[in-house]
Chain A
C-alpha cells in the first residue's frame, strides 16, 4: 500500500530556510517521480517542482528557481524539499505526491510552513 508521510509543521523567520521531508512506503522509491505542491491559506494549488528519485534529476517551477532544492536519500526512500530566503508569502501547506501517469496519484498529509517574525 502506497503511503507518503511528511515531517511536522515548522515556524520559520523571514530569510531562513526550511527543509521538509517525505518518507515513502509500499513501492519502489526509485520507480516514480516525486512532486511538490503548495497551497497558501484559502488559496489554490501551486506546483513547486519534481525530483526523479532514480537519477536525482530535478525540475522546478520558474517562480521558485534559485530558492528551492529537491533531493532524495534512496537508502531510506525519502525525498526532501528545501526552500530558502523565506518570505511571509511562502506561508503554506507543502505537499509531496507520487507520480501516477503524469498526475499526482498519492499524496502526503501536508506540512504547514509558517513564516513569521
Chain B
C-alpha cells in the first residue's frame, strides 16, 4: 500500500500570500492518479486537482498542481479568505486508494 505524507501539518498564512503544500509518496505514483481535495468544516471534500495538474470543473486558476514520481505539490497563488481549509492528497494504484493525513491551512 502506498503511504502519502503531507507537509506541513498546519500552514499559517495571510490572505494574498502564496501557499505551497507538499505530498510525498512512499512509492512512485502515476501522475494520472494523484488528486487534491479541499474540505471545509461540516462539508464534504471538493475535488480541486486530478491527474496531478488538471483543475476540476469550476476550480479557480489560482489553484495549481505539479509533481511526479513521489513528490507532488499543490500551490495556491494568492490566498482568498475562502481558501482557508484542510487539504488532502489522494492516490490510486493497483485498484487501491489512499489519502494523505491532510494539511490545515489557517489564517495568520
Chain A residues at the B interface, C-beta cutoff of 8 Å: 35, 37, 44-47, 50, 59, 61-62, 95, 100-105, 107-110
Decide if the interface of chain B is mainly helix, strand, loop or mixed. strand
- On whether A101 and B51 interact (CB within 8 A), knowing A95-B44, A108-B44, the answer reads yes
Interface size class on chain B is 20 to 34
Contacts A102-B33, A102-B92; A47 near B51 (Cβ below 8 A): no
* B72 CB–A CB distance under 8 Å: no
Contact yes or no, A107 B45, CB < 8 A: yes
Distance, CA A108 to CA B97, complexed state (A) = 18
Q: Which residue of B lies closest to A63 (CB)?
A: B1
Interface string of B8-39 (1 = CB under 8 A from A): 00000000000000000000000011010101
CB distance from B19 to the nearest CB of A (A): 19
Whether the pair B44, A61 counts as a contact (CB closer than 8 A) is no
Measured between C-beta atoms, what is the minimum distance from A35 to chain B in Å? 7
Say yes or no: A44 contacts B47, CB within 8 Å.
no
A35 contacts B97, C-beta separation under 8 Å = yes
Complex: A88 Cα to B12 Cα, angstroms? 34
- How far apart are B25's CB and chain A's nearest CB, in angstroms? 15
